[in-house]
């Protein structure tokens, strides 16, 4: 109880409340504008949070992270354009409901399902806290190294159909974090005689380039559009009543979000598709899915909003981010010398509980805000894309320059912005680069820390948790290889059959 009161006391500060309001409401607005998204907003705001206290900066970023998906559902439902990438599945059933004249029903259902998923996942996070506090100290250097390695493997394997490209990009990210002065031996690594590389390539510069500047370039090089969303009439509280009729779907979908949110590399998309598939298979009207099914809409929104709180579990307990947004938050911890992992639950438990209660508060704030401001947000959706591009470009360069007052950082960020634009045009993932930089750095530090105590390679897995992690790594790779072999074998007869038919003709 003492920890709970300490967390509440931390959250009750005026600057934390202000940060939570700004992050929560700002996240909804950003999520409602197609083409921006939480990653761009967090990347732009990241330099500003370094001057704030950890709880203030993290609360603001958490507000954006947790609330952007609420806002992203509005254009997905009204104009068939997801505000954020993870709201893509919401279009399947939300937009058909709008075309039937049920826009207010679809929007209110999306809000209610998102709120259910958010509160459910925070509840799970609080219940798991005592377990995390017990397990986290059991993780030493070798366990965290293997957990980070498992995270990178899962991130790569999560990009089905692009595994080779995702692997190369992750390795590129690992390489980037090695550039500069080695902290142990004080030798130059991959600087090639350029003095500006001696301090390394800053993670935030890369983040701003790959996410913010690339999106600005993408919007500026595309056609100028102003999406038209019509006002919504009706009571937004109606969705809460209808959600109660589908409690099972909402709860199971939230469960998928919690479980998959804890696993690095899986995240919202996998949770959504698994919950959507479950809802369809157990529905009494499966033929309605994709044509305006309320169950499909609930499954999608409850699952994706359950992920943010769950993604905090590996971040807080082990210091291992599961995706790009939590990787950005990790940098805020590091700047303030607050290291997530086993020691956090022993030394800064009030900060942990403060973040938990911030997650609850942001869901309540967002829900209340949306009940009264949906039609205002439909006007914001109409912002021209070229104007958005210019604003993102300006804010991103200001953010990069404010880090170290360096024009060199701006040039490096611009280079990564062009790289990000190329990757987007080629439909290749950006996230593996960021996670490669973050997890690669963790792996290097922990491996160096573990090496003096290892007499043979087998000593790396001679403890229970390290052995379990090693077995998981082997199983994940084996299962994926088995799936690939099975796919090749099923494809081969089809190709032979097509070849035979062409020869017969």
Which pLDDT score, from 0 to 100, does residue 421 have?
92
The two tokens of residue 304 are 């994706």
Which pLDDT score, from 0 to 100, does residue 402 have?
81
Which pLDDT score, from 0 to 100, does residue 443 have?
86
Q: pLDDT tier at 236 (50, 70, 90 boundaries)? A: low
Which pLDDT score, from 0 to 100, does residue 488 have?
78
pLDDT of 3 > 70? The answer is: no
Question: Alpha-carbon distance 283 to 297, whole Å?
Answer: 13
Which pLDDT score, from 0 to 100, does residue 504 have?
56
**What are 104-135's pLDDT values in tens digits?**
888 888 888 888 888 898 888 888 777 777 77
Three-state DSSP at 282 gives: helix
Q: Report yes or no on 161 lying in a domain.
A: yes
Q: Which domain holds residue 207?
A: 2-137+145-223+235-490
Q: Report yes or no on 497 lying in a domain.
A: no
Specify the DSSP class assigned to residue 290: T
Which pLDDT score, from 0 to 100, does residue 499 have?
52
Q: pLDDT tier at 505 (50, 70, 90 boundaries)? A: low
pTM of structure: 0.80
Question: Alpha-carbon distance 463 to 408, whole Å?
Answer: 46
**What are 133-174's pLDDT values in tens digits?**
777 777 788 888 888 888 888 888 877 778 889 899 999 999
Q: Report yes or no on 262 lying in a domain.
A: yes
Which pLDDT score, from 0 to 100, does residue 493 have?
65
Question: Alpha-carbon distance 390 to 323, whole Å?
Answer: 27
Strands 188-189 and 180-181, how do they pair? antiparallel
**What are 310-364's pLDDT values in tens digits?**
888 888 877 777 777 778 778 777 777 777 877 777 777 778 888 888 888 888 8
Which pLDDT score, from 0 to 100, does residue 417 have?
92
List residues bridging with 180 in a β-sheet. 189
**What are 346-357's pLDDT values in tens digits?**
777 778 888 888
Q: Report yes or no on 279 lying in a domain.
A: yes
Q: Report yes or no on 498 lying in a domain.
A: no
Pairwise pLDDT comparison (132 vs 434), residue with the higher score: 434
Which pLDDT score, from 0 to 100, does residue 416 have?
93
Pairwise pLDDT comparison (345 vs 257), residue with the higher score: 257
Dihedral sign from CA coordinates of 404, 410, 411, 413 = positive
Q: Within a 13 Å sphere around the CA of 471, how many CA atoms are in the beta-carbon half?
A: 7
Which pLDDT score, from 0 to 100, does residue 128 have?
79
Q: Report yes or no on 443 lying in a domain.
A: yes
Residues 15-38 have a mean pLDDT of 83
pLDDT of 497 > 60? The answer is: no
Domain count, the chain: 1
The helix/strand count (H/E) of the chain reads as 21, 2
Q: pLDDT tier at 496 (50, 70, 90 boundaries)? A: low
List residues bridging with 462 in a β-sheet. none
Give me the count of residues in the chain. 505
Specify the DSSP class assigned to residue 245: G
Residue 491: exposed, middle, or buried by beta-carbon count in 10 A (0-12, 13-18, 19+)?
exposed
Q: pLDDT tier at 414 (50, 70, 90 boundaries)? A: very high
Question: Alpha-carbon distance 72 to 81, whole Å?
Answer: 9
A 10 A CB-CB count for 494 gives 9
Instruction: Mention every residue, 6+ apart, whose C-beta is less than 8 A from residue 439.
Output: 148, 149, 151, 152, 155, 174, 320, 321
Which pLDDT score, from 0 to 100, does residue 475 have?
92
Burial 25-45 (b: 16+ CB within 10 A, else e): bbbbbbbbbbbbbbbbbbbbb
Which pLDDT score, from 0 to 100, does residue 494 have?
59
The two tokens of residue 36 are 């921006």
Question: Alpha-carbon distance 37 to 64, whole Å?
Answer: 9
Q: pLDDT tier at 453 (50, 70, 90 boundaries)? A: confident
Which pLDDT score, from 0 to 100, does residue 265 have?
62
Q: Report yes or no on 281 lying in a domain.
A: yes
Instruction: Mention every residue, 6+ apart, whose C-beta is less than 8 A from residue 364.
Output: none
List residues bridging with 188 in a β-sheet. 181
Q: pLDDT tier at 455 (50, 70, 90 boundaries)? A: confident
The two tokens of residue 135 are 């397990």
Which pLDDT score, from 0 to 100, does residue 11 have?
77
Q: Report yes or no on 505 lying in a domain.
A: no
Which pLDDT score, from 0 to 100, does residue 502 have?
59
Pairwise pLDDT comparison (2 vs 385), residue with the higher score: 385
Question: Alpha-carbon distance 58 to 52, whole Å?
Answer: 9
Q: pLDDT tier at 501 (50, 70, 90 boundaries)? A: low
Dihedral angle, C-alpha 152, 265, 183, 447, nearest 10 °: -40
In sequence order, what E strands does 80-187 have? 180-181
Specify the DSSP class assigned to residue 189: E
Which pLDDT score, from 0 to 100, does residue 186 have?
77
């Amino acid at each position: 109880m003492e920890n709970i009161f300490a967390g509440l006391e931390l959250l009750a500060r005026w600057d934390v409340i202000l940060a939570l309001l700004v992050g929560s409401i700002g996240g909804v607005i950003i999520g409602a504008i197609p083409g921006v998204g939480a990653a761009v907003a967090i990347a732009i705001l990241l330099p500003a949070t370094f001057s704030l206290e950890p709880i203030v900066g993290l609360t603001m970023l958490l507000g954006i992270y947790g609330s952007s998906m609420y806002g992203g559902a509005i254009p997905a439902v009204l104009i068939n354009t997801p505000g954020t990438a993870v709201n893509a599945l919401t279009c399947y059933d939300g937009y058909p409901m709008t075309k039937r004249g049920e826009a207010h029903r679809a929007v209110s259902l999306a809000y209610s399902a998102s709120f259910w998923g958010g509160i459910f996942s925070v509840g799970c996070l609080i219940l798991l806290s005592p377990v995390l506090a017990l397990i986290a100290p059991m993780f030493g250097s070798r366990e965290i190294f293997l957990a980070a390695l498992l995270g990178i493997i899962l991130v790569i394997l999560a990009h089905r159909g692009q595994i080779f490209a995702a692997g190369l990009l992750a390795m590129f990210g690992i390489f980037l974090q090695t550039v500069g002065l080695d902290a142990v031996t004080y030798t130059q690594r991959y600087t090639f005689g350029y003095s500006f590389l001696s301090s390394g390539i800053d993670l935030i510069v890369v983040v701003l380039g790959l996410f913010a500047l690339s999106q600005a370039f993408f919007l500026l090089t595309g056609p100028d559009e102003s999406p038209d969303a019509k006002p919504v009439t009706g009571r937004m509280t109606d969705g809460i009543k209808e959600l109660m009729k589908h409690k099972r779907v909402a709860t199971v979908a939230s469960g998928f979000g919690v479980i998959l949110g804890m696993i690095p590399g899986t995240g919202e998309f996998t949770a959504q598709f698994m919950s959507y598939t479950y809802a369809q298979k157990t529905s009494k009207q499966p033929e309605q899915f994709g044509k305006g099914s309320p169950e499909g809409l609930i499954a999608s929104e409850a699952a994706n909003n359950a992920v943010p709180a769950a993604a905090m579990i590996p971040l807080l307990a082990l210091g291992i981010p599961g995706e790009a947004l939590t990787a950005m938050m990790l940098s805020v911890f590091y700047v303030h010398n607050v290291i997530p992992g086993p020691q956090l639950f022993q030394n800064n438990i009030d900060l942990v509980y403060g973040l938990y209660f911030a997650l609850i508060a942001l869901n309540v704030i967002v829900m209340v805000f949306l009940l009264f401001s949906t039609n205002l947000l439909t006007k914001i959706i109409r912002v021209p894309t070229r104007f958005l591009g210019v604003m993102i470009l300006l804010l991103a360069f200001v953010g990069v320059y404010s880090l170290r007052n360096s024009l060199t950082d701006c040039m490096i960020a611009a280079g990564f912005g062009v790289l990000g634009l190329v990757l987007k045009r080629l439909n290749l993932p950006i996230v593996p680069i960021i996670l490669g930089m973050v997890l690669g750095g963790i792996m290097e530090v922990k491996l160096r820390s573990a090496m003096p105590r290892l007499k043979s390679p087998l000593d790396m897995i001679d403890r229970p948790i390290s052995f379990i992690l090693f077995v998981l790594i082997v199983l994940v790779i084996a299962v994926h290889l088995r799936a690939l072999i099975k796919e090749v074998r099923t494809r081969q007869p089809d190709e032979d059959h097509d070849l035979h038919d062409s020869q017969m003709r």
